[in-house]
Amino acid sequence: MRLLSEKAMCNTHGQDSSYFTGWVEYEKNPYDEVKNPTGIIQMGLAENQLSFDLLESWLANNQDTASFKKDGQSIFRELALFQDYHGLPAFKKAMVEFMSEIRGNKVTFDQNKLVLTAGATAANETLIFCLAGKGDAILLPTPYYPGFDRDLQWRTRVEIVPIQCTSSNNFQITAPALEQAYQDAQNRNLKVKGVLLTNPSNPLGITISRSELNLVLSFIISKGIHLISDEIYSGTVFNSPGFVSIMEVLKEKKCENTEVSNRVHIVYGLSKDLGLPGFRVGAIYSNNEKLVSTATKMSSFGLVSSQTQYLLSALLSDKKFTKSYISENQKRLKNRQKQLVKGFEKAGISCLKSNAGLFCWVNMKHLLKSNTFEAEKELWERIVYDVKLNISPGSSCHCTEPGWFRVCFANMSETTLNLAMDRLKTFVDSTTNTN
């Protein structure tokens, strides 16, 4: 007799991906400058640790808030008790204003159209639950974040159908690729319910152009389907061209408050821009009243704690701090990305020109023994086990071309990054000499 459910026994979580395998190997042998200097350096984790000092300085200067006090009086009991799953009004107001600030105040957001979730992972899954079900499909441009295989499919039973993008045009989305993906879904007897974009792109580290956004918007209008724009990296844009939110495109096309705007939804969170993944703060923004109502009900399964909302509402409401933080954080990301690219150049490796995110999309095709994904896996294993760097192979991101890798740069010190680049250069030199 089977004691566990079909869901518990199935193998559709995606945990067997090399993306997750690299994490497992890192956890077995993590690098530490003092305790384990020969360990694996984690370059597969998109965390932003470059501006913790700014956040810590704010906390030090706002002791009352950090101690859950208001006007000198403790509000611990108030925060400790049950709160409505709609979220604290002060936090939702601060959140939508911060989202607008990141977008240069070119667009505004209504806090009544915001649904709070325990991270962007929960936001994406909740949206899929609201939009689709078994037998339905969501189209995603490749390469895409490996975690989407888990986040969008595992519990919802929705299928991901790739929009195949290639290096021939720097992985930009094209009309033929959109139509082909739509046809591929129909050939599999799947009903296409929407397109999901990550803008800026994970793993490419680039912003999606205005022309691509217009193309995708026209596509979803013609097909009568939804568009999800995951904009969790919107505050990490450090070079031109600047970030263009799908909300800007709707505004330019005068599609605000229309039937079309009811089919466009945004995912956001504070994990990347503020570097707070442990706080589990995500959000869905939508003009669709029914979707907002349903998603709010679903959010009761993954709430953001009242303590977290209270603390962050104060931080995000400090406009002087947020303005300074956004600017300084982007400068630090820009400098760190330059450091990574320079290290790769010394090793004879090129990167896709990037302007956002916490990672680079790196071309190591010339190091493959053959132009196959088997050769890519072999190279990846050598880098993880011999060079002791955990990076993410392109195959885990569903890239159509062997030899691309995602490499993160913001979750370690400058010294550790230099060590990682030294290790890689030594490896490439020895490989070249052997060949």
232 annotated active-site: yes
Point out the catalytic residue in the list 272, 285, 325, 391.
272
Three-state DSSP state, 69: strand
Q: Write the DSSP assignment of 287-320 as a string of letters.
A: S-HHHHHHHHHHGGGSPPPHHHHHHHHHHHH-HH
For this structure, is 173 an active site residue?
no
Sign of CA dihedral 276, 323, 198, 49: negative
Catalytic residue (one of 41, 160, 163, 232):
232
Q: Which amino acid is at 303?
A: L
Separation of alpha carbons 292 and 34, rounded Å: 49
Residue-by-residue DSSP string for 173-224: --HHHHHHHHHHHHHTT-EEEEEEEESS-TTT--PPPHHHHHHHHHHHHHHT
In which residue are the tokens 């990550």 written? 198
With residues binned 3-state (H G I as helix, E B as strand, rest as coil), the percentages for the chain, rounded to 5, are 50, 15, 35
The residue from 26, 31, 144, 145 that is catalytic is 145
**Token code pair at residue 298:** 């679903």
Catalytic status, residue 145:
yes
Alpha-carbon distances of 138 from 26, 92, 213, 336, rounded to whole Å: 32, 28, 17, 34
Say if CB 288 and CB 263 are below 8 A apart. yes
3-state secondary structure of 149: helix
Neighbour tally for 136: CB within 10 Å: 18
For the question of residue 230 being annotated catalytic, the response is yes
Strands 264-269 and 226-230: parallel
Catalytic residue among 230, 285, 325, 391: 230
Active-site residue list? 145, 230, 232, 272
